[in-house]
Each structure stands twice: as C-alpha cells, then as structure tokens.
C-alpha cells in the first residue's frame, strides 16, 4: 500500500502540473486557435483511457483481481482528470458543485486534485476578468460591403461577426461538453441599406433642365437620407445660378424641397433650408416659399441653440425679409428674435441682428418692433469689448429704430409701451445713450465714425 500511495501522489502531482500549464496556455494564447487541437487531444485521451481501463480489467481477472481493480480505478480517475482539463471555464457555482461531486465519487487524492484544479481555473478566470460566459453569439447585424456605417457620411464598414460560426459548431460532431458563450452585450442592430445607389451627378455639376428633373424625381421618391442629402446639395448648388432658379420652380421643385423641412433629421433640414435660401433670391420663388416661412421660423426658434440647422433657418428668414412683402408674417416672433440675440453665440448674434435690421428698415413694422418685450441684458452688446461687426450691427439697429420712432411720431405715445419693451430700453432709460457715448473713444476708426453719426441724430 505504501508504493500505491506514492504512485497516487505522483499522479496527482502530474495532474496538478498539467493543469497549471493548461491555465498558463489558455491565458497566454487565444482560444480560437487552440479549440480544434484541444478537442482532438481530448478525444484521443478519452479513447486511450478507455482502452487502458479495459486492458487493466482483463489482466486483473487472470492474475491479481484486487491489484487490477485498483490500477483500473486509478487510470480511470486520471482519464477523468484529463477530460476535465479540456473543459471550458464555467461559472463559480457550477465549478464548486462539480468539485464536490468529484470528491464524493472519485475519492482520494485524484478527487482532491480535480477539486484543486477547478479552483485554480476559477481563480485564473477571475484574474483575467473574463467572468461567466453565457448566451449565444448574436448574428443579426450584417452590413453590405462598401456601404457607409450608420450615422457616418460615407466610408466603408467591416461586417460584424455573424452567427455562422456558432451554427457550424452546432452542425458538426457532437461533443461531450458545452462551451460557454460571451456575456458581452451584442451591438445594437442598426437599419442597413440593402443596396448601393450611385448618384448620377456630382454635387457641383451645373445641370440643365432635364438633369434637374431627374434629381427632383430621385429626391421625391427616395427615403434614404444619404440620397436625399446629396440631391439637396446638388439642387442647392444649382440654385445659386439665376437660370436654374427659374428652372427648378418651373419643374415643381419648390414643394418637393420644402416637404423635407418637416423631417426629423437635422442634416436634411439644414440642406433643405440651404437650397430654399439660394432659391429665395428670386422674387418669384419668394412668392412660393412664403407658404413655408412660418414653419421655418418656428423650427428655427425651437431647434438646438447655435446649431447648423438654426443658422441655415436664420439665413433663409433673412433673405425672405430683405423686401417688405413678407415681413408681417414673422412679426409674432419678435420677442424670440431678441431672446436669441442675447442667448446665441457670436455667429448667431451676427445673423439674428441682420434679420432684425431688415425689420428696422421698414417703418411700418416699427410699432410692433418697439412694443415687444426684450431682455434688459441686451444692453451689454454696446460694450467696447465686442469686435467691429457686432458693434456696427447693434449701432445700425439702434439708429434705424431711433429714426423710425421720430418718423412715426411714437415718441409722444410713450405711455403705450411697458418698461420691459424695446422702446423703453432704447429711448427712455438713457442707458443706451450712455453706452454709445462711451464708444466715442473706441480704437477702431470705423466704429468711432459710426458712433459719431448716431450721436448727431439724437
């Protein structure tokens, strides 16, 4: 029994050493490259172990029955341990349960070796940060080659791993084990375009009437945002030429373009505003675009502050108010314009001041303009820290309003206006006049000349 115990100890040491080597190997090299090799070795080990057990059983019948049974039991225990080596990592609760069952059934050092080896695997898995592997590989996202990634304008995207590999494993040879799967949450399945569409023109091509009709047909029939954006940019670039401004209107393009200002995609709305902005230079086109001007104004006021779509909307509104014909359609938005003038960044301030100046050049809009409520912080725009363009625009705005108040005789009816109105801020408070006088010593000569011109009219 002493030699038998020594042999068992040696076998247990070999098993533990093999397990340690296996853990190092699995943590060092990738799983995918070694799966097939380990599967083949595992099958060979199982076959060899079963042959040895059968041979040991037959030999034991002719010679020493007790010795043969003991050797066969040891070899069978070793084969079970080797088979245990090829198993994938399991969750902590499963490993502990398996070790407990092995300790009860196998008995002796072999069972303790298996339990110790399972514990080593669990600790190695925890250190590697892999955790439990559950579920199956998702194969529901497959991108067509050479198509843009979702949310990206242009460029290719490699397809993700699909479920083909998992299906191949399932259809192959049945194994005596189950492999754990990744716990990583699969990527969201984005909607993917099913085909690639080659736009027939470049966005900077100057097109004739027949080609413009084709682009309008594509824009009207397509629901693909990529195609819509390219078509809108192409139409917007062609609308910069006067002969194409008439052609697009005559082809019925204005309603097709204006329909896209209702979309939720801010990029499409921006491109639609840009195209309508170029088309609005034409007086006849303005008569068609006026139908949508209130919707454009509302969307511009509620969209994200200082965004590209807001700037595009402000440019369109500025073009539509250059003449006096359609200014009355936007008079309800005067308080929003002044609020945006205070809240917006530098470029938004410049654009909104150009829009308000258009209204100040129409004396008929003066009463509605000066009676609207404005933030008192608007007075900060007269500070000398602002650059030339901001100061020149705010001085022009003040000059036009002051002239219109005199020409319309509104100075005598100051009781009609509240203390929060533009009339009180510019005319009655006297704060604006003090701020303007302080700009008389400005370093910029152009600003200084403008200040002197305004002061002479007071």
* Tens of pLDDT, residues 359-412: 999 999 999 999 999 998 999 999 999 999 999 999 999 999 999 999 988 888
Per-residue pLDDT at 133 exceeds 60: no
Token pair belonging to 227: 């195609």
- Asked if the domains 198-320 and 337-457 are classified in one and the same CATH topology, the answer is yes
pLDDT at residue number 20: 74
Per-residue pLDDT at 95 exceeds 90: no
pLDDT at residue number 6: 73
Longest dimension (CA), the chain: 132
pLDDT at residue number 96: 42
Among 286, 283, 284, which Cα is nearest to 258's?
286
* Tens of pLDDT, residues 411-437: 888 888 999 999 999 988 789 999 999
Domain ranges of the chain: 198-320, 337-457
Per-residue pLDDT at 102 exceeds 90: no
Per-residue pLDDT at 315 exceeds 50: yes
pLDDT at residue number 109: 56
Calculate the average pLDDT of the chain.
74
Average pLDDT of the segment spanning 23-50? 54
* Tens of pLDDT, residues 192-247: 344 456 788 887 788 999 999 999 999 999 999 999 999 999 999 999 999 999 99
At 172, the pLDDT band (50, 70, 90 cuts) reads very low
Whether domain 337-457 has CATH 1.25.10.10: yes
Q: In DSSP terms, which residues pair with 421 in a beta bridge?
A: 373
Per-residue pLDDT at 168 exceeds 60: no
198-320 to CATH, choices 1.25.10.10, 3.20.10.10, 3.30.413.10, 1.10.10.60: 1.25.10.10
Average pLDDT of the segment spanning 109-126? 62
Percent of the residues in the chain that have a pLDDT greater than 90, as a whole number: 50
Report pTM: 0.58
pLDDT at residue number 12: 76
């Amino acid at each position: 029994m002493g030699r038998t115990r020594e042999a068992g100890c040696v076998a247990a040491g070999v098993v533990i050493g093999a397990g340690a080597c296996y853990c190092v190997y699995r943590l060092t090299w990738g799983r995918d490259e070694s799966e097939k090799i380990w599967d083949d070795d595992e099958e060979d080990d199982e076959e060899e172990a079963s042959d040895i057990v059968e041979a040991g059983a037959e030999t034991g019948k002719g010679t020493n029955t007790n010795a043969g049974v003991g050797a066969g039991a040891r070899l069978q225990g070793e084969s079970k341990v080797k088979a245990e080596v090829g198993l994938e990592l399991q969750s902590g609760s499963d490993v502990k349960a398996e070790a407990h069952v092995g300790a009860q059934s196998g008995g002796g050092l072999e069972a303790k070796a298996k339990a110790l080896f399972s514990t080593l695997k669990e600790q190695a898995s925890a250190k590697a940060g892999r955790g439990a592997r559950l579920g199956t590989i998702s194969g529901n996202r497959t991108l067509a080659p050479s198509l843009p990634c979702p949310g990206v304008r242009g460029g290719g995207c490699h397809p993700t791993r699909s479920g083909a590999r998992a299906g191949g494993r399932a259809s192959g040879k049945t194994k005596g084990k189950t492999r754990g799967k990744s716990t990583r949450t699969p990527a969201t399945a984005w909607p993917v375009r099913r085909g690639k569409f080659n736009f027939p023109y470049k966005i900077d091509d100057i097109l004739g009437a027949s080609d413009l009709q084709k682009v309008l047909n594509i824009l009207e029939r397509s629901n693909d945002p990529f195609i819509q954006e390219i078509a809108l940019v192409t139409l917007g670039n062609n609308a910069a030429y006067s002969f194409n401004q008439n052609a697009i209107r005559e082809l019925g393009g204005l309603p097709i373009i204006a329909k896209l200002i209702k979309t939720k995609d801010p990029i499409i709305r921006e491109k639609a505003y840009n195209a309508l902005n170029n088309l609005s230079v034409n007086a006849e086109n303005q008569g068609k675009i006026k139908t949508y001007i209130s919707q454009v104004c509302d969307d511009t006021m509620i969209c994200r502050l200082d965004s590209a779509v807001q700037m595009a909307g402000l440019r369109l509104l500025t073009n539509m108010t250059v003449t006096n014909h359609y200014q009355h359609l936007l008079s309800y938005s005067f308080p929003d314009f002044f609020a945006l003038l205070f809240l917006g960044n530098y470029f938004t301030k410049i654009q909104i001041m150009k829009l308000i100046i258009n209204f100040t050049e129409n004396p008929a809009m003066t009463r509605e303009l000066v009676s609207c409520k404005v933030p008192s912080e608007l007075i900060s725009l007269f500070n000398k820290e602002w650059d030339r363009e901001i100061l020149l625009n705010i001085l022009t705005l003040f000059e036009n309003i002051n002239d219109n108040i005199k020409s319309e005789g509104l100075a005598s009816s100051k009781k009609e206006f509240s203390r929060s109105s533009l009339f009180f801020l510019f005319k009655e408070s006297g704060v604006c006049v003090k701020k303007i006088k302080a700009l008389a010593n400005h370093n910029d000569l152009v600003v200084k000349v403008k200040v002197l011109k305004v002061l002479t009219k007071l």
